[in-house]
Amino acid sequence: MSTPAFPIVIVGHVDHGKSTLIGRLLHDTGTLSEARVSEVKKVSARRGVAVEWSFALDALQLERDQAITVDSTQARFRTSLRDYVIVDAPGHEEFLRNMITGAAQAEAAVMVIDIIHGITPQTRRHALVLNLLGIRQMIVVVNKIDSADFDEKAFTRLEAEITALGREANIDITTTIPLSARHGDNLADHSARTPWWRGPTLIEAIDRFQPPPAAADRPFRLAVQDVYRSGADRVVVGRIDGGRLTVGDTVTLWPSGRTARIKSFHASNSATPVIAAAAPQSVAFALDQDLFVERGHVVASATAPPRRGRSLRVRLVWLGRTPLTVGYRLRMVVGTAQADVVASRIHHGIESGAVAGNTVAEATFTAANDVVFDSFVDGSTLGRGILVDGGEVAGGCAIMSSDAAMSGATTTVGADERRLRNGHAGAVFWLTGLSGAGKTTLARAAERVLFDRGAQVMVVDGDLMRGGLTADLGFDNDSRTENIRRVAEVAKLMTSNGVIVLAALISPLASQRELARHIIGPAFHEVLVDADVETCAARDVKGHYAKAKAGELKDFTGISATWERPAQPDLIVGAGQESVDNSTQRLVDYIASIAALHAAAA
C-alpha cells in the first residue's frame, strides 16, 4: 500500500505571493508539464508581464480578474523524500471560512509574508486559525526578497517579528526563509544573491516536516453516534477517534463516569468474529453491563480519561453575522454532543470587546451542563467544537481549558444552571397602582413579549389569587396584608427557580409593599402603574368607582380606603397619555436589563 501524500497548507495575506509561490514550486519540482509551462508563458506575454507563475494554479477566470484566490485549491508535487498535496488557502479577509476549510485538511503549513508589507492583521488571524486547527509545524517564507535588494538586515528585522508571532500563536516555526517566488531564489536551490543565507531551501525545509503520530497511538476515544438493541445487548455505535479497542478492554462512559468491559463487536459483514479495532474505524460493540448510553456520550480509556467542565476557555474563529458579545447564547457541538452555552467573557490580548465576523479571539463559554472534552493540543476531535447560532454554523473553537470548580455532576439544580438554561435570572416585578390603572393589562402584554423571546415568565394578579389561594381573605387592611404576604411567598418560590414573575396587585400601603420586598429580597422590583382616580374611574366598566363614591362599596382603594403612592418606585409607567404599547416596551426593556435576558438559543 502506497503512503498517502503529506498534506500542507499555504496561507498568507492577499498579494503576498501565495499563488506565485505554488506555481513556481510546481515548476521547480518538475510537476508542471511542458504544455502547462508554455501556456503560462503565453498568458503572461498577452498580459504584458514577466512569467507569472500564479497562472499555473488559477483555475477560475474570476481569480485572474480580481487577482485574489477565492477558494481552496489542491495541487500535488514530489520531492526526493515523499509526495505532497498542497492546499492553497484564500488570503483575503472575506474568504476566511474557505481558508479554514482548506487548512483543516493539512498537517503542516507554509506562511507567505511580503518583506515590504510585513505582518498584517490577516497574517495574525491566519496563524491563530492554524493553531486552532491543531497545526503545530510551520515554515515562514519571507517573499519578494528581491524587492528589498536581498538585504540581510531587512530580513533579520522581520524574522524577529515572525518569531514573536509564532510564540503568540503557539506554533513551532521550523524555519524562516528569504525567498523570491517569482525568480525562484532559495526555493529549490540556494540563491547566489543571498550568500548570507545558510539555512535550508524551501524544498529542504518542507522535507523536514514530521508526520503526525498515528491516531491509533492516542488514548482511546469514541463519540457515541447511535445506540440500538440487538437481542439482550445494548449496542453502541461510533467512529474511533483515537486508540485501539479489544474485546475485554475496560472503558469508561462519560459524562456518567460508569465503567464497563467490551463484551463483543457486532460486525454485520464479517465472516469471522471481530475482536479488535483501531482509529479511525467505525465500530458497533456491546458492553458487559446494561448501562444507559445515548448519542452524545463518550466512551474512553479507563486509564486516560477525558475532561469535563461547564466553564470552557476556547480559542475561536467567529464567522457569525452578528458580533459575538458577552451574554450571547449559542449551541456548542463537541463530538456528537450538543450543549447550550453563553459567552461569559471575551478575553483581551487577541481581539477584545465585540468579536466581529472573520475574527479570531479567545473567550470563555459557560454551559448549562457538563461538556466532555480533551485539550485540543492532544489532537483529539473532542478538543474542537462547532458554534451554532440559530441553526447556522457561526464559528469553530479549540478548547484550551476548563474551570474545574464548575466540573462534575450534581443532583441539585442550582440557580446558575437555571439562569444558563433559561437565558435570564429570576426576578419579581411588583406592579402596584389603583384599581383600573392597567396593571394586569400591562403585565399580560409584557408576558407575551418575554415569552416570545424564550423567557420563563408568569403573571400573578389579585383576581387570580383571590380565586384560590387567598379566597378566604377580605379587603380590610389586615386581610390585604395577609394577601400580599401569601403572594410574595409564592413569587419568591417561583423566582428562586428562575422564573420572571409579574405580580399585579393594588397593594395600597407602603408597609405592605415593604413586606413583599422583605420576603422576596433583592429580586424585588417595584413598578408604579401611574393613573389617577379620575382616569381609573373613566375606565371602570364594572362601576366600582361609582358604587364606592355612593357609599355602596367599603374599603375601596382611592375612595373609601387609603392609597399610598410609592415614594421612589424602580420604574413608573402609564403616566399621562402614554400608550399601552409604549408602557409595555419600557417595562420589557427594564425587565431585560434586570434579568440579563437574552434570546434563547435555537
What radius of gyration do the chain's Cα atoms show? 34
Give the separation between CA 388 and CA 329, rounded to whole angstroms: 9
* 3-class SS letters over 363-409: EEEEEEEEEEECCHHHCCHHHEEEEEECCEEEEEEEEEEECHHHCCC
Spatial neighbors of 70 by CB under 8 A, at least 6 apart, are 60, 62, 63, 90, 92, 95, 98
Nearest alpha-carbon partner for 75 in 56, 52, 95: 56
d(CA 350, CA 334): 24
Buried b (16+ CB within 10 A) or exposed e, 442-477: bbebbbebbeebbbbbbbbbbeebbeeebeebeeee
* Sign of the four-CA dihedral 273, 278, 280, 283: positive
Residue of 380, 507, 511, 579 with catalytic role? 507
Q: Is 246 helix (H, G, I), strand (E, B) or coil?
A: strand
Answer whether 237's CB lies under 8 Å from 226's CB.
yes
Query: Is the Cα dihedral 63, 68, 70, 72 positive or negative?
Result: positive
- Cell matching residue 315: 480559542
Find the distance separating the first CA and the last CA of the chain, reported in whole Å: 47
Check: CB of residue 380 under 8 Å from CB of residue 218.
yes
Dist CA 393 CA 338 (whole Å): 13
256 annotated active-site: no
Can you tell me which residue has the cell 380606603? Answer: 561
Q: CA torsion angle for 244, 245, 246, 248 (degrees, to 10)? A: 130
438: left (phi over 0), alpha (psi -120 to 50) or beta: left
Q: Under the phi-then-psi rule, with left for phi > 0, alpha for psi from -120 to 50, and beta for the rest, what region is 422?
A: alpha
Active site residues: 507
